[in-house]
A and B are shown apart, each in its own frame.
Chain A
Amino acid sequence: AQSVAQPEDQVNVAEGNPLTVKCTYSVSGNPYLFWYVQYPNRGLQFLLKYITGDNLVKGSYGFEAEFNKSQTSFHLKKPSALVSDSALYFCAVGGVSGGYNKLIFGAGTRLAVHP
């Protein structure tokens, strides 16, 4: 079965420290990879995506993610966390075989940045 794994339910980081939110995937085909963020009582906001090309992609709010094909991973990173980054982060995969238009989501990782 095609799936996306976010192995950590919660990540705790001190403000100013680097953060990493992990994502691995198991899908057929050549997927496209996305990160979304959800703030309380809000919808899913797009952060960044990998389609092709440079494995390091940069997105909104200083976030970046590194695509690693051999490890089938797409970890989200930020060099210096802010308290305002505290939210729920979702990794998603699109363009998979048997479902080109749909996104398959991970379970989400709650990021808590402490002052």
Chain B
Amino acid sequence: EPEVTQTPSHQVTQMGQEVILRCVPISNHLYFYWYRQILGQKVEFLVSFYNNEISEKSEIFDDQFSVERPDGSNFTLKIRSTKLEDSAMYFCASSRTSGRETQYFGPGTRLLVL
């Protein structure tokens, strides 16, 4: 069964450094998403992406964040200058279409900012 994959599984970085989190969505899916879960808190929506454009983003997704689909398979989340409060589990998800379609999640990348 097709799965969403994410790399790396864990990343430790210093405050102020740039990080890129990578995801390979399910191959026939058209919508891509990033969510994050700060330890002990809810899973929060960050951004959705369709047709090489951001379709929705949350208040969390400020200028420090960007997303890209650099080729036909990868979907990346870049944090330009990490802060301590960016430490979280980041989940990538994909769906065939929007709205009522099921979003399938990857295993997550645990980011720790020191």
Q: Return chain B residues, CB-CB under 8 Å to A36.
A: 105
Does A57 make an interface contact (CB < 8 A)? no
Shortest distance between the CB of B10 and any CB in chain A (Å): 10
Q: Is the CB of B42 within 8 A of A99?
A: no
| B: interface residue count bin | 20 to 34
Q: Assuming A36-B105, A43-B106, A44-B105, is B98 touching A100 (CB within 8 A)?
A: yes
Closest A residue by C-beta to B5: A43
**Within the complex, which residue of B4, B33, B58, B99 is in contact with A43, where a contact is CB–CB below 8 Å?**
B4
Q: Assuming A99-B45, A99-B56, A101-B55, is B108 touching A34 (CB within 8 A)?
A: no
Bound-complex Cα distance A26 to B35 (A) = 21
How many residues of A are in contact with the other chain, CB < 8 A? Answer: 25
Q: Is the CB of B107 within 8 A of A101?
A: no
Does A51 make an interface contact (CB < 8 A)? yes
Q: Is the CB of A49 within 8 A of B102?
A: yes
Q: Is the CB of A46 within 8 A of B48?
A: no
Give the interface of A toward B (CB within 8 A).
Answer: 32, 34, 36, 41-46, 49, 51, 90, 92, 94-95, 99-108
Cβ-closest 5 pairs across A and B: A102-B45, A44-B105, A43-B107, A105-B43, A101-B48
Give the interface of B toward A (CB within 8 A).
Answer: 4, 6, 31, 33, 35, 41-45, 48, 50, 55-56, 58, 91, 93, 98-100, 102-108
